Structure 1
Amino acid sequence: MTDDGDSYFDRIVDEEKLASYLEAKLGPVESYNVAHHQEGHSNETLFVTWGDQELVIRRPPPGETADKAHDVLREFEVIDALQDTDVRVPTTVAATDDHDVIGSDFYVMEREAGTVLRAEEPERFQNPDARRAVGAELVDRLAEIHAVDYEAVGLREFGYPDGFTQRQVKRWSEQFEWAFQVTTDEREVPVVHDVMEWLKANAPEDHPETLVHGDYKLDNVMYAPADEPAVASIFDWEMSTLGDPLTDLGWMLSYWWDQKDPAPPESTDTLSTTFMASPDYMTRQELVARYEGATGFEFEHERFYRALAVYKLAALGEMFFRRFLEGNSDDPMYPKMRDGVPALADRARRIIDGDEPL
């Protein structure tokens, strides 16, 4: 029933038990197939064909994970709450915390059709108008997330926006400490502690309070299969909460390359799409101006928000490296984090020092 029969696949899904679960939820079918989608680097994604239905399953990785990471049921909660809003999310199907099915929490949603922009742009977008529209769509859809009346959609208790930004620094520092329990035996990253102290000292005390996505970037949205770029769906809500929307903007900008930027190091090439450095694309400054116009929020303390974003990415990388060392992933990107995390920490330091400007 699957084209992926290695032992890691067997650790993340029991096909017979999953079939029983889906049959109880959706009814019996004659054809069934499961495949492991390996483009993401955090939660695991499975593509399921259930008769004539195309589905997606999201579950955490196997093995020990950092506290509060990989919460797929939280991801389901927010996507389900946003079904009738302007925010473009997949259609939810079901969710369960019954680990007897596939060994973890998981949820099911309908699979969307379209294009995710990762290593390169599709041929239909290779013109100046489309390239500019890619960035404009990305910003406009982020503004829609930040405009959601989270109380009206039932997310009033989804987070604690007061003090959010300071807690972000604390939380991601704790993720580093969790990973360092294992990774420091391999190598240390002293610059992380310098960045950590600067972020603690410079976290804004006052900020807007909205629903935040938590992982909003170009390759977490899908563009519709049309010549004119339009975002069809937004994915990967596992870190969403109520908090400071400018953390979303800083995260998105950390993945958006400008012509003036240095080339990313080889150790982070899988995390650094650079085709938008073309002069046809919007610059980071233009993206910020469009966001400010759409939301009314001013992007103050931009060095803090951009440095925090890269710091968080480095912390994720260090957690990935721990999982690699412990044998809890087959992702070929994870071992690259031996050198990738130090490179990301150096980038955060450059942003703080003004050597990598907005």
Structure 2
Amino acid sequence: MMHTVPDGVEVVASRDGARHLDSPPLLVLDAVTGFLDAHGIGSGPIAWQRIGDGHSNVTYLIERGGESVVLRRGPRPPLPKSTHDMVREARIQKILHGHGVPVPEILAVCEDEDVLGVPFYLMARLDGTIVTDTIPPHLSPAEQRRLTSEAVVDTLVALHGIDVTRGELASLGLPEGYLRRQVERFRGLWEVNTTRSLPAVERIADWLAQNLPTSQAASVVHGDYRMGNLMFAPQAPAEVLAILDWEMATLGDPLADLGYLTATWSEAGSPATPLELTKVTRSPGYLTRGRLAERYQRRTGLDLTPLPWYQTLALWKAAIFCEAIHTRWQRGERPHDTVFGPSLETGVPRLLERAGHYASLTAANRR
């Protein structure tokens, strides 16, 4: 539902209205209006609606004078310097758009933190469907469920097939050493993001570091590739209109994306974790994790023997990321979060347990 009246907490009319708040608002309407004016987007008052299932960055649909745009910004400060880089995220999408990757068109980028307190960008609104808790009618027939699953894989294969050795893409990251850096970086993030002791974090970190696979290829790595970050066409057949949420993107090992996709994919009969954000794939007709991996392997030719290592990495990283959310909730920094934050008290240990399961599969493959 679109809103036109500020709530005085998340959305305020002006900077003056934000001064007495305990935490900064996410939208300041006169500031957003001024930015829209500067870029010739619509006229008159604005209406807004928070959209998406993201628990990190924040996305709003903005309507003004018959025009619709999407505003994406980081969460409330304080923020680690290396995260929530809206300027980099917008730049990545602009580059990938030029390579034919389905991404939203970037309309404007605001680097001035005085406007909303953090950088943000505007992108074109797409008329599409994001599949999360319910199956859209046009994607509900059994054939469309299969085609939806296949489109998820095929879009990832196309992304990973882009040549990252030349042009602007080569400046987005250093593929060499990607896996080792991931383990080291997230190991370091645990200590600064937790208030409790979970020995499995260090145990799995040691195991990952001691069993690093050799990367077979270098590609763009999305970093959060799942069905909930894909927008599908509003009519059959299933087609991906856009890949969303490029916050974690870099250059690295493509199997990191496949490991994350398959480890977080909801499958009938498998234990639930907090990262199963599109539960509908437990329903009949969707491909299993194994079938997703087989389709990816056929199209890329990569050896998927070490895939459980990447699935371990994915869930271990997810546990650390979710622990940061849980800690922010405990500190009162997520005042409207009454479900996800509290659930991570047990959800993070469940993620670590599943990570350990995949680690045992890797060990079995090597015997």
TM-score, normalised relative to structure 1: 0.91
Q: How does 1:87-166 map to 2 (within 5 A)?
A: 87-152=101-166, 154-166=168-180
Kept in 2: contact 1:54–1:110 (CA 8 A): yes
CA distance in 1, matches of 2:66, 2:166: 35
Counterpart residue number, 1:2:
4
Kept in 1: contact 2:42–2:67 (CA 8 A): no
How has the CA–CA distance of structure 1 residues 229 and 168 changed in structure 2, closer, same or farther, with 3 Å as cutoff? same
Structure 1: gaps of 5 or more residues = none
Letter in 2 for 1:226: Q
Deviates more, 1:9-18 or 1:214-223: 9-18
The reply to whether residue 291 of structure 1 matches residue 296 of structure 2 is: yes
Counterpart residue number, 2:20:
none
CA distance in 1, matches of 2:152, 2:267: 16
Q: How does 1:60-79 map to 2 (within 5 A)?
A: 60-79=74-93
Identify the match of residue 65 of structure 2 among 48, 51, 60.
51
CA distance in 2, matches of 1:298, 1:143: 14
Shift of 1:32: 1.8
The reply to whether residue 257 of structure 1 matches residue 270 of structure 2 is: no
Aligned alpha-carbon RMSD (Å): 2.2
How has the CA–CA distance of structure 1 residues 36 and 126 changed in structure 2, closer, same or farther, with 3 Å as cutoff? closer
Counterpart residue number, 2:18:
none
Kept in 2: contact 1:210–1:243 (CA 8 A): yes
Identify the match of residue 219 of structure 2 among 210, 226, 235.
210
Kept in 1: contact 2:102–2:242 (CA 8 A): yes
Shift of 1:6: 4.3
How has the CA–CA distance of structure 1 residues 52 and 85 changed in structure 2, closer, same or farther, with 3 Å as cutoff? farther
The reply to whether residue 168 of structure 1 matches residue 182 of structure 2 is: yes
CA distance in 1, matches of 2:216, 2:192: 28
Residues 203-255 of structure 1, C-alpha deviations (whole Å, 9 max, x = no match) = 22433111111111010001110121111111000100111110011111112
Kept in 2: contact 1:63–1:328 (CA 8 A): no
Instruction: Tell me which of the two structures has the higher relative contact order, counting C-alpha pairs closer than 8 angstroms and 6 or more residues apart.
Output: 1
Shift of 1:290: 1.2
CA distance in 1, matches of 2:132, 2:61: 19
Kept in 1: contact 2:63–2:69 (CA 8 A): yes
CA distance in 2, matches of 1:146, 1:112: 23
Letter in 2 for 1:346: E
The reply to whether residue 348 of structure 1 matches residue 362 of structure 2 is: no
Identify the match of residue 241 of structure 1 among 234, 250, 261.
250
How many residue pairs are counted as aligned between the two chains? 349
Q: Secondary structure of 2:235's match?
A: coil
Deviates more, 1:233-242 or 1:52-61: 52-61
TM-score, normalised relative to structure 2: 0.89
CA distance in 1, matches of 2:112, 2:179: 33
Q: Secondary structure of 1:354's match?
A: helix
